[in-house]
């Protein structure tokens, strides 16, 4: 694994041994520990931007990291809109970032000619 993982914490008990599993994010293979959420597995692998804003295409990352907002939505095994902060990563899981989508609420300016 790498140096982004917290291995000692004054309050939380961190299990000393967990199985290493692998998953893909946007087609790239990464390792995680059994019990990690997708969000924590991405963070520990140095990934901060996990999707694009639907309208602007700007990179988005975690916001609340407790399941209240929807900033961390990803596609998991072809199932869209999964919150990565509350979804546990599993061995062989395919995770894709959400991409810019057409905005159905934006009205096109009328073209008169």
| pLDDT value at residue 106 | 60
Q: Which tens digits make up the pLDDT trace of 9-56? A: 888 777 778 899 999 999 999 999 999 999 999 999 999 999 988 878
Q: Distance between CA atoms of 43 and 48, rounded to whole angstroms?
A: 6
pTM of structure: 0.81
Q: Which tens digits make up the pLDDT trace of 82-94? A: 999 999 999 999 9
60-64, 78-82, 84-88, 97-101: which has the minimum mean pLDDT? 97-101
| pLDDT value at residue 69 | 86
Contact status, residue 94 vs residue 70, Cβ threshold 8 Å: no
Q: Distance between CA atoms of 28 and 60, rounded to whole angstroms?
A: 19
């Amino acid at each position: 694994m790498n140096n982004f993982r917290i291995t000692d914490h004054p309050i939380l008990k961190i299990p000393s041994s967990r199985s290493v599993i692998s998953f893909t994010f946007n087609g790239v293979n990464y390792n995680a520990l059994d019990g990690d959420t997708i969000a924590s597995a991405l963070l520990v692998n140095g990934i901060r931007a996990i999707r694009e804003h639907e309208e602007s295409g700007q990179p988005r990352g975690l916001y609340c990291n407790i399941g209240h907002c929807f900033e961390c939505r990803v596609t998991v095994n072809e199932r869209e809109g999964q919150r990565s902060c509350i979804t546990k990563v599993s061995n062989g899981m395919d995770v894709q970032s959400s991409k810019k989508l057409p905005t159905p609420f934006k009205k096109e300016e009328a073209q008169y000619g």
